[in-house]
A = this chain, B = another copy of it.
Amino acid sequence: MTLPPRTTAAAAELLDPAEQPHDVEPRLAAQIAFIAEIDRLKTVVRLSRLLADDRRENDAEHSWHLALMVLVLAEYANEPIDVARTLKLVLVHDLVEIYAGDTCLFDDVAKKDQAERESAAARRLFALLPEDQENAFHALWDEFEARRTPEARFAKAMDRLQPLLLNFGNKGGTWRTPGVTHALVRDRTSVIGEGSRELWDYTEKLLALGAQRGWIEGG
């Protein structure tokens, strides 16, 4: 399939290969090119707004925030989790959006071809790495998406809980999108319970309070 254009205007590589030192091992040169390319994640803007400033959050900030949430909240996982692997999952999970863009949780049209767009983006991005690391990064991304391991289920729970905290702190945020209701938000975030029943209990309290205060439409 054809990928949408990159998120920045220039399709050129961010570190011009012609300007790199020539006497560097190809493996290290490939790793540095990948590290430069993923700078683009800082330009992928999400719908959620920060708590600390009046602007929208980007994917790099969001991924960092999820990693800190893993460090603080791991004790609430339904099953024991390997914190290191869970950190890797949340750090890597949004990289494909560099080419595939952010897809809103409530946008059913964009969600239709989301899997296909993101899969093509993963192949393109991870191919910048040496083959062993390409496979390792692709495996982490696959694991997150499939939610078949306790780590992936907890990582996904963080990914749903974080914007929910931002929306609650912003007295509504993206919950005020036309057509979004308490029942819909509850449906789209209930996956939190697969990672942590205790954090889903907490989420339900936030959503009930949000509805009661008029920050989410009832129904």
Contact = CB atoms under 8 A, between A and B. Distances in A.
A105 interface: no
Contacts of A61: 42, 58, 60-61, 64
B64 A67 contact: yes
Q: How large is the interface on A (under 10, 10 to 19, 20 to 34, 35 or more residues)?
A: 35 or more
A40 interface: yes
A133 B72 CA distance: 7
Interface of A: 7-8, 14-15, 19, 21, 23-24, 28, 31-32, 34-36, 38-43, 50-53, 57-58, 60-61, 63-65, 67-69, 71-73, 76, 83-84, 87-88, 91-92, 129, 133, 165-166, 168-169, 198, 202, 205-206, 209
Contacts of A65: 35, 38-39, 42, 60
7 contacts: A19-B209, A21-B206, A31-B72, A43-B53, A60-B60, A60-B61, A84-B84
